[in-house]
């Protein structure tokens, strides 16, 4: 098995890359060509054993062909990291990320830079393989990645903040294998929370060519520096009327087939789009504030969805803005909703500051108490994560 594969017409570049990655474990397979094959299989069938970890598209290849080839490779073999050798002019980087390319390598990069980038791509490939491996035998996940619906019957409980941080945290586990979808179609704030100015929105993604072709759909997604994709809410709230439940279901099925994690920031309540999301979801993150209306709303939501048989198999209850000065305890919340609280996020000044700045807590490496709780939430979605004993829920302390 060749751990690394390089395609380029330049034999000199092969020598440079080979020398740079010599300290790394594994061999390099070089294909000297100024063109790319019609399909990834034409290369992979020449490999023995497991597929390679990193595919390097070297200098001398037509850029348009390289981007198209990378898009097909990313869809068919997401566990292989793709590196493009090209000068980065901004637009190239954006198009490369949309095509599933892991990183861009300057043709003039020195040996240390080449080795560091290739090693990083190899680690990303290993993370993807670990994430994809369990899905072959797990019931709902056999059809693709996990759809995580971030839910709350009531508004104003920090749902978008939690969804954004969850997506960023998962992006650190599975780079470029996470997409966040803003399904608060009237007043969605994912774009502002991630400091994005999307060229396309969900309105564009559910109609036309994008709804028929997953490769086209991927070009409609916005790329975030946190190694995730985003599909943002419509610019005009009126566009909500153009999107129905079937549109939402079809969109989520498309994304699930392409991404390891699909994080959905839903609108408050249990409207048509929320119910369509729950029909597809493998997980639901239920967000609850530490106030009686929010707690009772969550209890009612559980009861209604249980009667409709729309409760996802995996449930994660997050108590947000927790503060013992409210006169309530975690045990009070659990007794009311009839379910354990899995993650407690303490009230924090750092959260609104990060929201206003457009940089999620988990992106800037904050050590705030809320960031610690958000990391605990992300941990629950790692492959092979095992739930702790229920008694541990009783040890949660709200400061």
State which of 22-26, 185-189, 326-330 shows the largest mean pLDDT: 185-189
What would the two tokens of residue 278 be?
Answer: 């729950």
pLDDT at 142 over 70: no
What would the two tokens of residue 373 be?
Answer: 């709780």
Structure-model confidence comparison of residues 137 and 25, the more confident one: 25
Mean pLDDT of 314-324: 90
Q: Per mean pLDDT, which range of 17-31, 45-59, 156-170 is the poorest? A: 45-59
Q: Per mean pLDDT, which range of 108-112, 325-329, 357-361 is the poorest? A: 325-329
What would the two tokens of residue 393 be?
Answer: 């829920």
**HSE-CB for 166 with a 13 A CA cutoff:** 33
What would the two tokens of residue 160 be?
Answer: 């978008």
Identify the pLDDT of residue 47: 73
> If you average pLDDT over every residue of the chain, what do you get?
86
Mean pLDDT of 114-122: 84
pLDDT at 360 over 80: yes
- In the structure, what pLDDT confidence band is assigned to residue 397 with cuts at 50, 70 and 90? very low
Identify whether the C-beta of residue 67 lies closer than 8 Å to the C-beta of residue 99.
yes
Identify the pLDDT of residue 295: 92
Max CA distance (Å), the chain: 71
280-to-30, 307, 333 alpha-carbon distances in Å:
43, 17, 28
If you search the block for the tokens 């599933």, which residue do you land on? 100
Identify the pLDDT of residue 386: 63
Identify whether the C-beta of residue 193 lies closer than 8 Å to the C-beta of residue 358.
yes
Identify whether the C-beta of residue 215 lies closer than 8 Å to the C-beta of residue 74.
no
Residues paired with 320 in a beta bridge: 289
pTM (2 d.p.): 0.66
pLDDT at 1 over 50: no
Domains and CATH numbers, the chain: 4-134 (3.40.50.2300), 137-395 (3.40.50.300)
Identify the pLDDT of residue 393: 44
pLDDT at 398 over 60: no
DSSP string, 5-59: EEEES-HHHHHHHHHHTTTSSS-EEEEE-SS--SSTHHHHTTS-SSPPSEEEE-T
Q: Put the strands of the sheet holding 222-224 in their side by side order.
A: 222-224, 228-231, 178-183, 261-266, 146-151, 283-289, 314-322, 343-346
- What confidence tens digit (pLDDT) does each residue in 217-251 have? 888 899 898 889 999 999 888 888 889 999 999 99
Instruction: Please report which helix (H) or strand (E) contains residue 83, including its range.
Output: strand 81-85
- In the structure, what pLDDT confidence band is assigned to residue 69 with cuts at 50, 70 and 90? very high
User: What is the Cα–Cα distance from 67 to 121, expressed in whole angstroms?
Assistant: 17
Identify the pLDDT of residue 140: 39
Residue 123: partners with Cβ closer than 8 Å, 6 or more residues away = none
Identify the pLDDT of residue 45: 80
- In the structure, what pLDDT confidence band is assigned to residue 52 with cuts at 50, 70 and 90? confident
- In the structure, what pLDDT confidence band is assigned to residue 300 with cuts at 50, 70 and 90? very high
Identify the pLDDT of residue 293: 92
Residue 20: partners with Cβ closer than 8 Å, 6 or more residues away = 111, 112, 114, 115, 118
105 SS3 class: strand
Question: Which of 153, 179, 182 shows the shortest CA–CA distance to 168?
Answer: 179
Identify whether the C-beta of residue 136 lies closer than 8 Å to the C-beta of residue 130.
no
pLDDT at 9 over 50: yes
Burial 349-385 (b: 16+ CB within 10 A, else e): eebeebbeeebbbbbeebebbbbebbbebbebbebee
Name the percent of the chain lying above pLDDT 70: 90
- In the structure, what pLDDT confidence band is assigned to residue 40 with cuts at 50, 70 and 90? confident
- What confidence tens digit (pLDDT) does each residue in 81-112 have? 899 999 877 788 888 888 888 888 899 999 88
- In the structure, what pLDDT confidence band is assigned to residue 128 with cuts at 50, 70 and 90? low
Identify the pLDDT of residue 207: 83
User: What is the Cα–Cα distance from 51 to 78, expressed in whole angstroms?
Assistant: 11
Question: Which of 284, 198, 211 shows the shortest CA–CA distance to 242?
Answer: 211
Identify the pLDDT of residue 42: 85
């Amino acid at each position: 098995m060749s751990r690394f594969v390089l395609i380029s017409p330049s034999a000199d570049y092969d020598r440079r890359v080979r020398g740079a990655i010599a300290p790394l474990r594994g061999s390099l397979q070089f294909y000297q060509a100024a063109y790319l094959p019609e399909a990834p299989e034409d290369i992979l069938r020449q490999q023995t054993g497991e597929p390679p970890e990193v595919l390097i598209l070297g200098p001398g290849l037509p850029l348009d062909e390289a981007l198209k080839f990378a898009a097909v490779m990313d869809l068919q073999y997401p566990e292989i990291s793709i590196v493009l050798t090209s000068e980065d002019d901004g637009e190239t980087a954006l198009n490369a990320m949309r095509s599933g390319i892991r990183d861009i390598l300057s043709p003039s990069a020195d040996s240390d830079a080449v080795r560091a980038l290739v090693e990083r791509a190899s680690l990303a490939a290993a993370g993807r393989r670990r994430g994809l491996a369990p899905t072959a035998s797990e019931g709902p996940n056999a059809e693709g990645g996990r759809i995580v619906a971030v839910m709350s019957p009531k508004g104003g409980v920090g749902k978008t903040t939690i969804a954004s941080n969850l997506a960023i945290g998962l992006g650190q586990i599975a780079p470029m294998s996470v997409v966040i979808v803003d399904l608060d179609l009237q007043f969605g704030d994912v774009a502002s929370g991630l400091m994005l100015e999307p060229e396309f929105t969900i309105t564009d993604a559910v109609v036309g060519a994008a709804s028929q072709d997953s490769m086209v759909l991927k070009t409609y997604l916005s790329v975030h520096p946190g190694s995730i994709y985003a599909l943002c809410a419509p610019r005009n709230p009126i566009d909500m009327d153009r999107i129905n439940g079937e549109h939402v279901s079809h969109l989520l099925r498309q994304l699930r087939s392409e991404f390891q994690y699909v994080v959905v920031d839903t609108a408050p309540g249990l409207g048509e789009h929320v119910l369509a999301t729950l029909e597809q979801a493998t997980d639901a993150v239920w967000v609850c504030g530490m106030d009686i209306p929010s707690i009772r709303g969550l209890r009612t939501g559980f009861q209604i969805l249980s009667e409709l048989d729309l409760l996802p198999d995996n449930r994660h209850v997050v108590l947000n803005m927790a503060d013992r000065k409210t006169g309530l305890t975690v045990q009070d919340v659990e007794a009311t909703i009839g379910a354990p609280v899995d993650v407690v996020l303490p009230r924090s000044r750092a959260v609104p500051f990060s929201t206003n700045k457009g940089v999620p807590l988990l992106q800037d490496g904050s050590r705030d108490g809320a960031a610690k709780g958000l990391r605990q939430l992300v941990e629950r979605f790692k492959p092979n994560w095992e739930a702790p004993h229920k008694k541990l829920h009783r040890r949660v302390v709200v400061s």
